Amino acid sequence: MLLDRESECREVDDLLEAGRRGRGGALVISGVGGVGKTALLDYALDQSADYVSVRTAGVETETHISFSALSDLLRPLLDHIDELPVRQSGALCGALGLSAPEDSDPLTLCCSVLGLLERAAVTHPVLAVIDDAHLIDARSAETLRFVARRLKDHRIVTLFAARDGEDTRLGEGGIRRLPLEGLGPEAARELLCASVDTPSPTVVTSLIRAAGGNPLALSEYATRVSHDRLRGAEPMDAPPAPGPRITEYFSRGARRLPEDSRWALVVAAASDADEPGMALEEFEQLGIASSAFDAAEAEGLVRVDGTRLEWCHPLVAAAVYHEATSSERRAAHRTIAEARAIAEADEVRCPPKQALHLAVAGLEPDEEVAHVLERAAGDALHSGAIPAAVGLGEVAARLTPDDGNRARRLVEAAEAAALVGRRPLAERLLEDAASISDQRTRLEAARIRKSLSEELLASVTELTVQELKVARLVAQGATNREAGEALFLSARTIEFHLGHIYRKLGLRSRTELARSFASKAPEPADSPPSRRS
Ligand SMILES: Nc1ncnc2c1ncn2[C@@H]1O[C@H](COP(=O)(O)OP(=O)(O)O)[C@@H](O)[C@H]1O
Ligand SMILES: [Mg+2]
């Protein structure tokens, strides 16, 4: 069933109805790969049972064979060839390889094709469908264009489907176009969520945006993205990897680019998939001159709007990114992270969003990288961006060369994972931590695991790890100063956290906190040193 194509179907219905009444016509259905052109042609064929239908589709390997498309299209109608004037039937037979080629003029041939369709339309109206018209041979294209412009007094309808951005030679000459856009959000959601009960609204929105409403991309996502990712329990790649057909359609243009232009696109795709436009100035900071995008703009892959770069279709970004090799992707993320890192007095800091680039870029254990990631995870945690903190913390741990530090970071990441309900990940991280022979870490891991199994986290999942620690200490009777000392924080910061805790848990006083918390909350790990010692 076609979703969200009411007006397009109506346009096809009207054309078919007019054809029945001897007021035929033609339509070029255009749009990007996977947008639903063939599906709309199929709809037309379904609606035209009273028509004689003939169809063909252009194929890349036959583009250079003159009249190959016309030959396929007209084969079912060749019984009528003897009804044509001799000159026309001779020209047609010659062109279609049914007799020795004739040196006839193009006009005779065009008239013979129109004449053949007319003869066939005497008993029933005729529908001629030409899919992938951007790939048909030039001689078929010019003949069919001639025919398509002369149908208004005939019971003949011609429908073409052609991909945007390709030269179809059908655009000129006044044939009506029906451009197809992506599906609207409701229909897109229906396609994407066909098999998932409770998809995460954020994930759904980001996938619909990544697909630009493209139905093929959406159905590929629906089958390829795991249920856990669709539910938001596992993080998504950014941009999410499209399926093979979409990758093929949308990376084609990039393959034709010179190497520096393609690299510029890989960096652009890696940089910020969610941003509507990227400032050219920022690319210059990444060592990419704005002229590197000229060739991509000429290919119709990106648009430069004043000082900003925009993708012509979001799937170009996803396809270019995932067609690149994994080492190119890592190099692109490293370039971005390094350019955006902030050098402070004696260390490098990375805002959490940029540190995510470092996380994707990193492969080898490296304490310096791990430390930057840990700091960023801490920042993310404090700002309430716990899912980001989980990802950053996990990578920080994995990239830590030293066993003791790695175990501690694994436990911290587990704690954050538990807080956002990613229990399998938390368990896995704790197991990894426990496998590192460090007595203190093993104890902490055991304690967190116990709290996970008590299913008490549900009531406090609103709290950040830091808030959980503050709440626990204050509930045990600690003053703000004592809690601050235990957590290396100022008393004012404790007060600030307490404000959040009260609001999130709907409490008003320390006494209420003590009462409620003592009965519900899990024991957090004894604050492991949250900074590098
Ligand atoms: N309006 C729609 N509603 C639901 N599915 C659609 C719709 N349009 C296309 N599809 C599905 O999307 C996929 C791609 O469509 P297709 O017509 O092959 O794209 P195109 O010919 O433009 O490359 C097909 O599986 C098709 O069934
Ligand atoms: Mg198609």
pLDDT per residue as tens digits for the range 444-455: 666 666 655 443
Q: Is residue 417 within 8 Å of 389, Cβ to Cβ?
A: no
| pLDDT > 80? residue 262 | yes
pLDDT band at 172 (very low <50, low <70, confident <90, very high): low
Distances (CA, A) of 396 to 161, 366, 385, 435: 50, 9, 16, 17
Ranges 227-236, 360-369, 408-417, 493-502: which has the least confidence = 227-236
- In the prediction, which pLDDT does 432 show? 84
**Nearest ligand 1 atom, CA 32:** 22
pLDDT band at 533 (very low <50, low <70, confident <90, very high): very low
The stretch 290-309 carries a mean pLDDT of 91
Residue 11: CA count within 13 A, CB half-sphere = 17
pLDDT band at 24 (very low <50, low <70, confident <90, very high): very high
Rounded to whole angstroms, the Cα distance separating 101 from 168 reads 26
Q: 79-123, pLDDT tens digit by residue?
A: 999 999 999 999 999 999 998 877 778 999 999 999 999 999 999
The stretch 341-368 carries a mean pLDDT of 72
Ligand that comes closest to the CA of residue 220: 1
Q: 403-419, pLDDT tens digit by residue?
A: 888 888 888 888 888 77
What residue's CA is closest to ligand 1, atom 24? 216
Print the SS3 string covering 261-312: HHHHHHHHHHHCCCCCCEEHHHHHHCCCCHHHHHHHHHCCCEEEECCEEEEC
413: left (phi over 0), alpha (psi -120 to 50) or beta: alpha
- In the prediction, which pLDDT does 168 show? 63
Q: 483-508, pLDDT tens digit by residue?
A: 888 888 888 889 988 988 888 777 78
Note the Cα 228 to chain centre separation in Å.
17
Residue whose tokens read 């490293």: 334
What residue's CA is closest to ligand 1, atom 13? 216
**Nearest ligand 1 atom, CA 33:** 23
Candidate from 4, 38, 220 with most ligand 1 atoms within 8 A of CB, to mutate: 38
- In the prediction, which pLDDT does 242 show? 92
Q: What spacing in Å lies between the alpha carbon of 162 and ligand 2's midpoint?
A: 8
Q: Is residue 416 within 8 Å of 448, Cβ to Cβ?
A: no
Ligand that comes closest to the CA of residue 42: 1
* Domain covering 6-179 in this structure, CATH number: 3.40.50.300
Residue whose tokens read 């790990």: 525
Pocket of ligand 1 (CB under 6 A): 2-5, 31, 33-39, 183, 191, 215-216, 219
pTM for the full predicted model = 0.76
* Domain covering 455-533 in this structure, CATH number: 1.10.10.10
Domain covering 341-453: architecture: Alpha Horseshoe (1.25)
